[in-house]
Amino acid sequence: GESVGLHLPTLSVQEGDNSIINCAYSNSASDYFIWYKQESGKGPQFIIDIRSNMDKRQGQRVTVLLNKTVKHLSLQIAATQPGDSAVYFCAENTPSGTYKYIFGTGTRLKVLA
Amino acid sequence: GAVVSQHPSWVICKSGTSVKIECRSLDFQATTMFWYRQFPKQSLMLMATSNEGSKATYEQGVEKDKFLINHASLTLSTLTVTSAHPEDSSFYICSARTGLQPQHFGDGTRLSIL
């Protein structure tokens, strides 16, 4: 959904552990979902995507899970590293033909040494 | 691949001046470019969608006369903040896409109006 908060939820994870970042999306008709990583002062960087006809997709050290029943998306990062510290946003593609994205509120991931 | 360059990365100007921000897709032709605004510790808010050669489509609440968008080629879109005031200070980010590919983002422009 759209962000209205003034501060981001934070997930603190020990280096080497797995991270799970969750996202609730807003539109049951959305057909495409993306996870982005945003480091301070930079633009969002594409991590992984998934189409609505799939429920799981794996990349390098990352896995995205999609549960359409409850409109839930998650990003799993294996063996979290200090360089993974950033804000993570999920985005849903609205099926309007314009390929506009609705961004989630974001989660700050802090990796503890 | 899929590199989007945004310029300038940071600008400070006096109230009442106009500021132009450029967004370029460096290694692909962007059929659509998007302009977002981001406040500190918040998510990205879509301002407008820009297709090459046609007028931009603005989101509800975004003043088209305030935020002028030009998408003259498949690799360049510009956002001009006209008669900028302190409340226009923000982080502006563009993205570009082609076909069914995901949007790729520039590194943003931090605009500070004194």
> Which mean pLDDT values do the consecutive 10-residue runs of chain B (114 residues) have?
92 96 94 94 94 89 95 92 96 92 95 96
One-letter amino acid at A44 equals P
B98 touches chain A (CB under 8 A): no
One-letter amino acid at A73 equals L
CA dist., res. B88 & res. A4, Å (int): 18
- A6 pLDDT more than 70: no
A45 with B103: Cβ contact below 8 A: no
What digits encode the pLDDT tens for the residues A19-39?
999 999 989 999 999 999 999
For residue B8, say if its preceding peptide bond is cis, omega within 30 degrees of 0.
yes
Q: Give the closest residue to B68 by CA, choosing from B20, B4, B11.
A: B20
A56 touches chain B (CB under 8 A): no
Which pLDDT score is estimated for A88?
Answer: 97
Which residue of B42, B43, B106 is in closest CB contact with A43?
B106
> Nearest 5 degrees, angle CA B46-CA B48-CA B51?
130
Residue of B nearest to A87 (CA): B41
Q: Coil, helix or strand for A11? A: strand
Which pLDDT score is estimated for B2?
Answer: 82
Question: For residue A65, how far is the Cα from the chain centroid?
Answer: 10
B109 touches chain A (CB under 8 A): no
A positions 72-101 inside 8 Å of B (CB): 89, 98-101
Residue A30 DSSP code? -
Residue B39 DSSP code? -
CB within 8 A of B2, min separation 6: which ones?
Answer: A46, B25, B27, B28, B101, B104
A104 touches chain B (CB under 8 A): yes
C-beta separation of B79 from B94 below 8 A: yes
Residue of A nearest to B93 (CA): A43
What digits encode the pLDDT tens for the residues A42-93?
999 999 999 999 999 999 999 999 999 999 999 999 999 999 999 999 999 9
